[in-house]
Amino acid sequence: MTGTLVAGRTGASRMSHPSAPVTSARQLKTPLALSLADLAAIFDDLQFTLRCCERLLVELDRGAQSDPAVVESLWVSALNSYARCFRPGERGMGLTEADLKATGVEGDVVEWHGLLRKIRKFAVTGETNPRETYSIGVTQDADGRPEGIVITSVVNPVVDDVTVRQTGRLAFELSKLLDERIKEHQKKVFAAVEDLPRAKLDELPAIEITS
């Protein structure tokens, strides 16, 4: 979903290069309109997840030269955006396991979805450092007596390109599914207001349309 989406008597259409650019509109705050806004926000989160995955693949391809801070930041951002899509929200517009199955992605997508949630929980809300596991040891002198304390750590594996690709694929397929849902919802919103008189429309607050 790019540009300003307009639904009229001919249905929903993309307006990336409209002949007469839309610069203002009247704000709708009906439950139906607010539900459409929720869907648009979810779509944006999916697109953000996809962009993070695309950028991650570029960074991971650098091998030893990749920046761990960039990798972790992109991956956590992708996981957070993805997880938000499945929160019901006030109007119940969040994605569900049924939507996962409807993508047609091969394999057990529900199981993969559950794995992503576990990874996010460990990386974001876990009580320990997700990057390294630390241990404390005591060194001994030649006679076996305590000599000093050492702090050592084992680096946890970073996300791999296969995981990133599968996550990006799922986000992409969910975006396609949601794009169609948004178009249908737009038609319903327009149907609810298309017969409103001019006086009623003029009473609604004006909003600016950004490109």
Sorted by where each begins, the domain ranges of the chain are 4-208
Averaged confidence pLDDT in the chain: 88
Three-class SS state of 210: coil
Residue 200 clears pLDDT 50, i.e. is over it? yes
Range 164-185 average pLDDT: 96
> What is residue 158's predicted lDDT score, i.e. its pLDDT?
87
Phi, psi of 38, deg, nearest 5: -60, -45
Distance, in Å, from the CA atom of 205 to the CA atom of 122, rounded to the nearest integer, reads 44
Asked whether the predicted pLDDT for residue 160 surpasses 80, the reply is: yes
How confident is the model at residue 19, as a pLDDT? 53
97-144: pLDDT as tens digits: 999 999 989 889 999 999 999 999 988 888 888 889 999 999 999 999
Question: Picking from 39-43, 49-53, 128-132, 207-211, which range would have the lowest pLDDT averaged per residue?
Answer: 207-211
Q: How far is CA 111 from CA 75, 101, 114, 123, 164, in A?
A: 19, 11, 5, 18, 16
Which residues, 6+ apart, have CB-to-CB distance to 15 below 8 Å?
3, 4, 5, 6, 22
Query: What pLDDT is stored for residue 5 in this prediction?
Result: 52
Confidence of residue 1 (pLDDT cuts 50, 70, 90): very low
Please report, rounded to a whole number, the percentage of residues in the chain having pLDDT higher than 90. Answer: 66
